[in-house]
Amino acid sequence: MSEGKLSVSSQVLLWTLQRASAAVLAVCVVVHLITMIYAVRNGLSAAEILGRTRGNFVWFAFYAVFVLAVSVHAPIGLRSVLVETFTWRGRGLDWTVFAIGIVLAFLGFRALWAVFL
C-alpha cells in the first residue's frame, strides 16, 4: 500500500457500501415521495404532520435509515467525482469526504430529532 492511499480492500468496501446504500435509497426515496405527495394532496398542516411523527418510532426508524444511507452514499460518490474531475487523491480527499458524511448525518439526525420529540 502506498503512503496516503486507502488499501485496495478498503476501496472495494467503499464501492460495496455505495452500491448497498443506493439500494436502500431507492426504496427510501420512493416511500418519502409518496409520503410527501400524500401530505400535500391531502392538505395536511405542519401541526397535523408533527402530530403523526412525534413519538412515532416507525417513522423515526425509517428516516434514521434514510439519513444513514444518504450519509454513506453521498460522500463516496463525491469522492469519485473529485478524483475524476480534479485528480485529487490521498488522505486529504478521504478525510474531506468523511467530514462531509459526518455533517450530512448530523444535519439529518438533527432534523429527524426535531420532528420526533
Partner 1 sequence: MAVSTLRVSVWRGTESGHLQTFEVPRLESQTVLDVVTHIQRSLDPTLSYRFACRVGMCGSCAMTVNGRARWTCRTHVSEVMRGEALEVRPLSNLPVIKDLVTDMTPFFDKWAQARGSFQGATTRRDDFARVSPETPERRLADAGIECIGCGVCYSSCDVVAWNADYLGPAALNRAWTLVNDVRDTDRRSRLAAVAGDAGCHACHTHMSCTERCPKKLSPTASIAGLKRAAMMAALKGELGDE
Identified binder of partner 1 from the candidate list 45, 46, 58, 84, rule CB under 8 A: 84
Nearer to partner 1, 7 or 56 (CB): 7
Distance CA 114, CA 117 (A): 6
Q: Which residue from 41, 40, 21, 33 is spatially nearest to 105, judged by alpha carbons?
A: 21
Report the nearest approach of partner 1 to the CB of residue 98 (Å): 16
Task: Determine if 38 is a binding residue for partner 1 (CB under 8 A).
Answer: no
Select from 11-19, 31-39, 47-55, 103-111 the region that touches partner 1 (CB under 8 A): 11-19
> Is residue 11 near partner 1 by the rule CB under 8 A?
yes
Cell of 74: 453521498
Our finding on whether 83 is near partner 1 (CB under 8 A) is yes
* Helix, strand, coil shares, percent, the chain, to 5: 85, 0, 15
Contact 100, 78 (CB under 8 A): yes
Q: Could you tell me how many residues make up the chain?
A: 117
Q: What angle do CA 101, 113, 79 make, to 5 degrees?
A: 10
For residues 87-106, which are near partner 1 according to CB under 8 A?
87, 89
Residue 80, classed as helix, strand or coil, is helix
Is residue 3 involved in binding partner 1 (CB under 8 A)? no
| Binds partner 1 by CB under 8 A, chosen from 3, 4, 7, 67 | 7
- Binding region for partner 1 (CB under 8 A): 1, 6-9, 11-13, 15-16, 80, 83-85, 87, 89
